[in-house]
């Protein structure tokens, strides 16, 4: 199974004479085809990223926005401030980092589990399967702001459905708690993010399951494997290539998540829901200290590179051993 | 092969729980949009005291929703079309040619997905402001600035998904077209692309949804002139009153085009994902 190297080139078809000739004379063609994509990626992603790294060494405040090259160079001072856990800025960044790690583990883990459960439950046809598949995809299809603003309404203390459900309908709580300020804000943001993220896991895993042939299960059933065994020893290994990509993509999306806290909390951000992207955004645009914000962004990028690199290397090693 | 009882119980439990959690916000969105203002201000009720369509009328005047809607539509459509054209050419090159720099390109493009948005938001903003000062060409506060930015957001994933899809289309198809006298680009446009329609549709949906739902850059790059729905919908709660019924009505209206489009075409989306991910 060619599952371990997702980017491995497919075996080229037998080369015919005319193709080889055009390849020689048209060597520039692939570059021409790529040029628009490259130019745009360089302009919108690479150049700003390099500029951002450069900015992180300067004291770029609002006085220099229109003339950013004249911002004073301060060396590593922005990094020192960001990493100094005894100072106010560093302590706030560290706490935001911790919250983001907990948030990411919970959201990715639970979203994956729910997506897997639903994908397996809907794997084989039954009446109204299409209906539920469609329903489950709606949170992913909704524009971010429309879905999350609805949750904002639902989580309002006095006129929201959640408190009504918990206090009046089910009676599991005596007083109506605040969900969008204080410590419970963390639970709120995790639930909202899972609500939005799990359908993506469901979608990817459903797509992956379609490539598992039915006769494998039939053979397993004949051997007497029950449902969990056949999931563990057939479905999971067959889904490995999908899972590798899915977990990495979800990790990056969730760790960088800005939309959920921004739409859910607005400007009144509670400390418990202070995710790192949102934290950096506020540090930059509320205090107009772009140099400090850029330094924090670079630190975030380094962390993501480290995690992704470790993940990919670990996978490569394991697949080589296998 | 028959489903066991244990599996049927598991299936029913999963479906009931997930359907309830998924549907609750949708139910709230729909019913609240039909409530008069006093219903959404006071204690929550599961059903409107009187059903009214007034929120769907008032929402256009409380904030200039129509203008935001048009902005979002123009920006998202233009970004989708541009991203699609660029992704088709790039993924054809990646799928059909072995050239120097190919793996550098695919790795670099995919790794841009990893960049935290805030890292290049500030520099991009400053670069745009400076270009405007140098050349007079406006990016901040214009639709074109948003289009260029958004199309690069969907580009990496689109190229990845589409080149996976093209890999599954036999090369003999291009070769037959070439023998018949097509140029490489002609073969792409006339033969390969029609065969790759589901993948192209999937990429188009993805690109449109990305642009339609983008919040972070919209919050910085838009002014009143080019404000998109993502930011515009927040205006309902910055007024002295929070018009929750109108917010829900507006959310419903702005969601319908993308949700229906996505659900109608989700089969192609799944097919495109399968090709990209299960390589």
pLDDT tens, residue by residue, A144-201? 999 999 999 999 988 889 999 998 888 888 888 899 888 899 999 999 999 999 999 9
Q: Would you report the helix, strand and coil content of chain B in percent, each value rounded to 5?
A: 80, 0, 20
ipTM, two decimals, is: 0.88
**What is the CATH classification number for the domain harbouring B224?**
1.10.3720.10
Residue A320 lies in a domain: no
Interfacial B residues in 75-134 facing A (CB < 8 Å): 85-87, 89-90, 92-94, 96-99, 101-103, 105-106, 108-109, 112-124, 126-127, 129-130, 133
pLDDT at A16: 45
Distance from CA of B61 to the nearest CA of A (A): 19
pLDDT at A70: 73
Distance from CA of B43 to the nearest CA of A (A): 5
With CB atoms and an 8 Å threshold, state whether A195 touches B258. no
Mean pLDDT, chain A, rounded, equals 84
pLDDT at A322: 55
**What is the CATH classification number for the domain harbouring A230?**
1.10.3720.10
CA B216 to CA A233: how far, in whole Å?
A: 42
Residue B210 lies in a domain: yes
Residue B276 has pLDDT above 70, yes or no: no
Contacts of A210 (CB under 8 A, 6+ apart): B270, B274
Please state, in angstroms and as integers, the Cα–Cα distance from residue B54 to each residue in A150, B76, B253, following that order: 19, 29, 14
The residue with greater pLDDT, A231 or B150, is B150
Model confidence pLDDT, tens digit, residues B188-197? 888 888 888 8
Burial of A170 (0-12, 13-18, 19+ CB in 10 A): exposed
Residue A266 lies in a domain: yes
Domain span including residue A136: 98-291
Of A108-117, A131-140, A161-170, A230-239, which range is least confident?
A: A230-239
* B235 CA to centre of own chain: 22
Residue A168 lies in a domain: yes
Interface test with B, best of A124, A138, A146 (most B CBs within 10 A): A146
A12 in reach of chain B (CB within 8 A): yes
Model confidence pLDDT, tens digit, residues B100-124? 888 888 888 877 777 788 888 888 8
Question: How sure is the predictor about A321, in pLDDT bands with cuts at 50, 70 and 90?
Answer: low
CA B249 to CA B37: how far, in whole Å?
A: 12
Residue B117 lies in a domain: yes
Of A45-54, A125-134, B46-55, B229-238, which range is least confident?
A: B229-238
pLDDT at B182: 83
Residue A251 has pLDDT above 90, yes or no: yes
B21 in reach of chain A (CB within 8 A): yes
Mean pLDDT, chain B, rounded, equals 86
Residue A178 lies in a domain: yes
Contacts of B109 (CB under 8 A, 6+ apart): A37, A41, B155, B156, B159, B160
Residue A85 lies in a domain: no
With CB atoms and an 8 Å threshold, state whether B44 touches A160. yes
Model confidence pLDDT, tens digit, residues B157-173? 889 888 888 888 888 88
CA B133 to CA B144: how far, in whole Å?
A: 17
Model confidence pLDDT, tens digit, residues B253-272? 999 988 988 888 887 777 77
- Look at chain A and report how many structural domains it folds into: 1
Residue A84 lies in a domain: no
Residue B15 lies in a domain: no
| DSSP structural state of residue A71 | S
Name the residue in chain A with its Cα closest to that of B146. Answer: A44
Interfacial A residues in 176-235 facing B (CB < 8 Å): 195, 199, 203-204, 206-208, 210-211, 214, 217-218, 221, 226-227
Model confidence pLDDT, tens digit, residues A87-121? 888 899 999 999 999 999 999 999 999 999 999 99
Residue B171 lies in a domain: yes
pLDDT at B43: 86
Question: How sure is the predictor about A317, in pLDDT bands with cuts at 50, 70 and 90?
Answer: confident
Question: Which of A307-311, B241-245, B268-272 has the highest mean predicted lDDT (pLDDT)?
Answer: A307-311
Please state, in angstroms and as integers, the Cα–Cα distance from residue A204 to each residue in A243, B1, B20, following that order: 9, 25, 22
Residue B249 lies in a domain: yes
Domain span including residue B199: 60-277
pLDDT at A7: 44
The residue with greater pLDDT, B241 or A38, is A38
Residue A141 lies in a domain: yes
Q: CB neighbours (10 Å) of residue A214?
A: 10
pLDDT at A3: 39
Which residues sit opposite A73 in a β-bridge?
A58
Residue of A140, A130, A124 lying closest to A203 (CA atoms): A140
CA A271 to CA B56: how far, in whole Å?
A: 36
Contact A9, A247 (CB under 8 A): no
With CB atoms and an 8 Å threshold, state whether A217 touches B40. no
Residue B1 has pLDDT above 70, yes or no: no
Residues A245-270: what's their mean pLDDT? 88
Name the residue in chain B with its Cα closest to that of A136. Answer: B22
Residues B148-162: what's their mean pLDDT? 89
Residue B123 lies in a domain: yes
A64 in reach of chain B (CB within 8 A): no
Residue B6 lies in a domain: no
Q: Which of A6, A19, A159 sits opposite B41 (nearest CB)?
A: A159
Length of chain A equals: 322
- Which residue has tokens 């520039």? A28
Residues B173-202: what's their mean pLDDT? 85
- Look at chain B and report how many structural domains it folds into: 1
Question: How sure is the predictor about A2, in pLDDT bands with cuts at 50, 70 and 90?
Answer: very low
Contact A315, A7 (CB under 8 A): no
């Amino acid at each position: 199974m060619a599952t371990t190297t997702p980017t491995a080139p497919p075996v080229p078809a037998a080369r015919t004479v005319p193709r080889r000739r055009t390849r020689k004379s048209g060597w520039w063609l692939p570059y021409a085809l790529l040029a628009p994509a490259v130019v745009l990626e360089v302009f919108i992603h690479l150049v700003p990223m390099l500029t951002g790294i450069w900015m992180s060494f300067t004291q770029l405040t609002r006085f220099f926005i229109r003339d950013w090259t004249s911002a004073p160079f301060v060396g590593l001072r922005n990094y020192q401030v960001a990493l100094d856990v005894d100072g106010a800025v560093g302590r706030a960044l560290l706490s935001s980092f911790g919250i983001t790690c907990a948030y990411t583990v919970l959201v990715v883990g639970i979203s994956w589990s729910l997506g897997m459960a639903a994908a397996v439950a809907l794997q084989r046809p039954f009446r109204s399967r299409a209906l539920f598949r469609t329903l489950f995809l709606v949170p992913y299809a909704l524009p971010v702001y429309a879905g999350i603003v609805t949750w904002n309404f639902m989580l309002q203390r006095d006129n929201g459905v959640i408190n009504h459900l918990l206090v009046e309908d089910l009676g599991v709580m005596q007083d109506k708690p605040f969900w969008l300020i204080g410590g419970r804000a963390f639970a709120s943001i995790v639930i909202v993010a899972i609500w939005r993220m799990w359908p993506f896991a469901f979608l990817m895993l459903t797509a992956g399951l379609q490539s598992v042939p039915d006769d494998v299960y039939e053979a397993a059933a004949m051997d007497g494997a029950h449902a969990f065994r056949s999931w563990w020893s057939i479905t999971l290994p067959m889904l490995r290539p999908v899972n590798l990509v899915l977990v990495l993509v979800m990790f990056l999306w969730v760790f960088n998540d800005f939309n959920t806290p921004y739409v859910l909390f607005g400007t009144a951000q509670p400390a418990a829901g202070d995710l790192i992207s949102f934290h950096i955004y506020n540090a930059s645009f509320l205090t107009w200290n772009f140099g400090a914000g850029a330094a924090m962004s670079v630190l975030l990028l380094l962390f993501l590179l480290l995690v992704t690199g470790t993940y990919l290397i670990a996978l490569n090693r394991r697949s080589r051993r296998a | 092969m028959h489903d066991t009882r244990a599996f049927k119980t598991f299936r029913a439990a999963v479906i009931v729980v997930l359907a309830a959690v998924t549907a609750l916000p949708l139910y709230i969105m729909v019913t609240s949009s039909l409530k008069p203002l006093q219903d959404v201000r006071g204690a929550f009720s599961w059903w409107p005291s009187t059903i009214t369509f007034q929120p769907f009328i008032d929402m256009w005047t409380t904030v200039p929703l129509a203008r935001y809607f048009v902005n979002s539509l123009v920006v998202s459509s233009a970004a989708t079309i541009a991203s699609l054209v660029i992704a088709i050419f790039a993924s054809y090159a990646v799928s059909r040619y072995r050239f120097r720099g190919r793996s550098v390109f695919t790795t670099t493009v995919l790794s841009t997905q990893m960049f935290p948005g805030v890292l290049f938001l500030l520099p991009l903003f400053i670069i745009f402001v400076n270009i405007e000062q140098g050349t007079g060409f406006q990016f901040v506060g214009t639709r074109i600035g948003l289009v260029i930015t958004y199309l690069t957001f969907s580009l990496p994933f689109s190229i990845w998904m589409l080149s996976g899809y093209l890999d599954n289309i036999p090369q003999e198809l291009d070769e037959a077209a070439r023998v018949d006298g097509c140029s490489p680009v002609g073969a792409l446009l006339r033969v390969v692309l029609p065969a790759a329609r589901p993948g192209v549709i999937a990429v188009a949906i993805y690109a449109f949804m990305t642009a339609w739902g983008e919040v972070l850059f919209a919050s910085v790059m838009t002014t009143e002139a080019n404000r998109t729905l993502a930011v515009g919908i927040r205006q309902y709660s910055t007024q002295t009153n929070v018009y929750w019924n109108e917010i829900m009505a507006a959310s419903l209206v702005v969601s319908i085009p993308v949700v229906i489009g996505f659900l109608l075409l989700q089969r192609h989306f799944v097919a495109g994902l399968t090709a990209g991910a299960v390589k």
